[in-house]
Structure 1
Amino acid sequence: MASPHDIVREDWLALTQEDILAPGQPVFDCHHHLWDRPEGRYRSEELMDDMGAGHDVRASVYVQCRTGYRDDGPEVLRPVGEVETVLDWTSGQERFPVGIVAMADLQLGDGVRPVLDALIEAGAGRVKGIRNTTAWHADPVVRSNPNPPPEGLLRTDTFRDGARAVAAHGLTLDVWAYQTQLDEVRALAEAVPELTVIIDHCGGPLGVGPHDRFGPDNFNAWRDALAPVAALPNTRIKIGGFGLGVFGWRYADGALPPHSETLAGDWRPWVETCLALFGPDRAMFESNFPVDKGQVGYRTLWNAFKRLAAPLGRDEQDALFWRSAARTYGIDEQIFAHDYGRISS
């Protein structure tokens, strides 16, 4: 199926340029992708150009997106090719990415263990977690993946057995699910308390199809479904993903790219709710690039997050911008304590 994401237009993004806010704030971009697809290329060169746009980005985490699977061999091991491809594309970069969230089919149940072993071996210490394609909605308008998964994966016994294997391997589990699936996410995290479950993209607040982005009932439904997830001590949340089409914002339709003041104003209710539920020590900002790049530039995105974090204390800001992600993924915090110098774009 065709990509549901907005096409990246570098010339359009260049129409809005901002000065960097809080340039001394270390940043850990804990969620981005790399790919080379018909709709566009985003490999190491493009990633480093964005990360060198002025913010003090110290490290990143790559998250699976079906890049570079093996063309042959056992089907269950083909996702190992994604780890191999990413390490090949980023050869010579130790911190971009410093961690990889890979794909292993958790519908294999306990049988996923050899796949996890192969991923860990291929990653040479960088594979930190696993993610499956799980975001599903009955309305075809609500679609964030070119190949949507079948309904109900998160609540199967085999998926939970696979999740237990992930925990046994010392890995985390990223979950991308819509607000309508958050009860399934809660049940999964509750059933596998030894597993750290990372909720991607604010828990999928929806603003398309039957979901009114500005409707208080829709907002309250998202918040009320997210609260029991946040109440579990083994859950974390990534704050970002607002450029996803399913969120309902249409910045890409504007004559000019949005300014960070606009973004901060638009996103504040969702960001403040995530922080109220999880607290800064269990929350982390993410870019979700290049998905979100169709609607907002990298410099502008992090400026918006800095505006949103401005009322917080320094320790809380550090938690959001790097510490929570580093501790969640087991990354050396010294990366953020020392001055490495800025990335050159």
Structure 2
Amino acid sequence: MSTRSLHPPVRPDWLALTQEPVLEPELPIVDCHHHLWDRPEGQRYLFLDLLADMEAGHDVRATVYLQARSMYRPDLEPRMQPVGEVEFANGAAAQAASGLYGRRYACAAIVGCADLMLGERVVPVLDALERAGGGRLRGIRNQTASHDDPQITSNPVPPPPGMLVDPDFQTAARLLPRHGLTLDVWAFHTQLGEVAALADACPGTTIILNHCGGPLGAGRYRGRREEVFAAWSGALAVAAERPNIRLKLGGLAMRVNGFDFHERERPPGSAELVEAWSPYILRCIELFGPERCMFESNFPVDKGMVGYVPLWNAFKLMTTDLAAAEREKLFWRTATSTYRLDAGLLGLG
């Protein structure tokens, strides 16, 4: 399986060109979406790299690990190979939980991969993932973001189209609640109709839509931002009518979104991110409400364009007009409830 990265490389020297103080360092955060990996060509983001970001100044209490094709087990049959990724993430979680590195619970919840196209045959895979997770497995995600434009891809091996509405996929998705699992979905804005159809077909499954619903700005959508915003906003409004969908706010610093901050001499500061992204973030909150929205870093993917401190500063600046209770939901309560994290362990009320 190829692990070639399609995302801008992380350049620490370039990121260091933009420095700013941490805003509201007392505001607790649960980073609900990040990855760990060791890729070719120096693309490495492991536990200590994540910990350095968590300790950069924001009060990040815990994180949620999302599948990223890391550390698959080649000694297992293909459908079982993702067990290795859950083992890997659980090992990082065990490091964090040891207390040796402070009280920051990295990978406190894990979202692994099980091929939902297996339909009912996915059950043994789910059982194996649960055992590997040591009580931390909370959800499943497949590679589902698909587009017919070859310039629009976020996976080294693009998935086939139509997975979200495939009967076998939906059958497997309906089984997840029996295992106490949610379903994370990464889809482009052109697939939001399929996301809504999936939610209708699986009303008992909690679906977490990733990265603001994927508003595109690359390929045939480059230079059409206003048109895309209108299409994305309308399709997202339809998805928001489904009560079993929740939404992650972030993930906009990928090539497919077309902001291209990585091509500039200096990385963006928080004010620039607010200017570029607040229309999307605020529209998401308007449609889903804080009780169904949660902020994510999407690191290290987004780290190719933006640093951890400016990113969370921007999220804080975008929400200063909201009530304190609403901001708590966005920054930690929704993530904590969605992924069943122990708020008491995290020191959260």
Shared fold by TM > 0.5? Answer: yes
* 1:167 Cα deviation from its structure 2 partner: 2.0
* 1:50 Cα deviation from its structure 2 partner: 0.7
Q: Distance in 2 between matches of 1:87 and 1:307?
A: 33
Q: Distance in 1 between matches of 2:142 and 2:348?
A: 34
Pair 1:215–1:293, CA change in 2 (3 A): closer
* 1:76 Cα deviation from its structure 2 partner: 1.0
| 1:46 maps onto 2:49 in alignment | yes
Is the contact between residue 284 and residue 322 of structure 1 (CA under 8 Å) also seen in structure 2?
A: yes
Q: Distance in 1 between matches of 2:287 and 2:293?
A: 9
* 1:333 Cα deviation from its structure 2 partner: 1.9
| 1:206 maps onto 2:209 in alignment | no
Amino acid in structure 2 at the alignment position of 1:179: H
Q: Distance in 2 between matches of 1:97 and 1:287?
A: 13
Residue ranges of structure 2 left out of the alignment (5+ in a row) = 98-104
TM alignment of 1:37-116, pairs within 5 A: 37-39=39-41, 40-94=43-97, 95-116=105-126
Is the contact between residue 206 and residue 213 of structure 1 (CA under 8 Å) also seen in structure 2?
A: no
Task: Report the counterpart of residue 33 of structure 1 in structure 2.
Answer: 35
Task: Report the counterpart of residue 254 of structure 1 in structure 2.
Answer: 264
* 1:214 Cα deviation from its structure 2 partner: 4.9
* 1:337 Cα deviation from its structure 2 partner: 3.9
Task: Report the counterpart of residue 192 of structure 2 in structure 1.
Answer: 182
Q: Distance in 2 between matches of 1:215 and 1:245?
A: 14
Residue ranges of structure 1 left out of the alignment (5+ in a row) = 340-345
Percent identity over the alignment? 52
Is the contact between residue 26 and residue 336 of structure 1 (CA under 8 Å) also seen in structure 2?
A: no
Is the contact between residue 213 and residue 247 of structure 1 (CA under 8 Å) also seen in structure 2?
A: no
Partner SS, residue 248 of structure 2: strand
Partner SS, residue 187 of structure 2: coil
* 1:336 Cα deviation from its structure 2 partner: 4.5
Task: Report the counterpart of residue 14 of structure 1 in structure 2.
Answer: 16
* 1:73 Cα deviation from its structure 2 partner: 2.1
TM-score norm. by structure 1 comes to: 0.96
Amino acid in structure 2 at the alignment position of 1:331: L
Q: Distance in 2 between matches of 1:173 and 1:248?
A: 27
Is the contact between residue 5 and residue 39 of structure 2 (CA under 8 Å) also seen in structure 1?
A: no
Partner SS, residue 49 of structure 1: helix
Size of the aligned set, in residue pairs, is 339
| 1:193 maps onto 2:203 in alignment | yes
TM-score norm. by structure 2 comes to: 0.95
TM alignment of 1:324-343, pairs within 5 A: 324-338=334-348
Q: Distance in 1 between matches of 2:162 and 2:177?
A: 21
What are the Cα deviations for residues 19-50 of structure 1, in whole angstroms up to 9, with x where unaligned? 00011100000000000011311000100011
Is the contact between residue 18 and residue 266 of structure 2 (CA under 8 Å) also seen in structure 1?
A: yes
Q: Distance in 1 between matches of 2:285 and 2:27?
A: 19
Q: Distance in 2 between matches of 1:233 and 1:15?
A: 43
RCO comparison, higher one (Cα < 8 Å, 6+): 1
Instruction: Provide runs of 4+ in structure 1 moved above 6 Å.
Output: none
Q: Distance in 1 between matches of 2:26 and 2:89?
A: 29
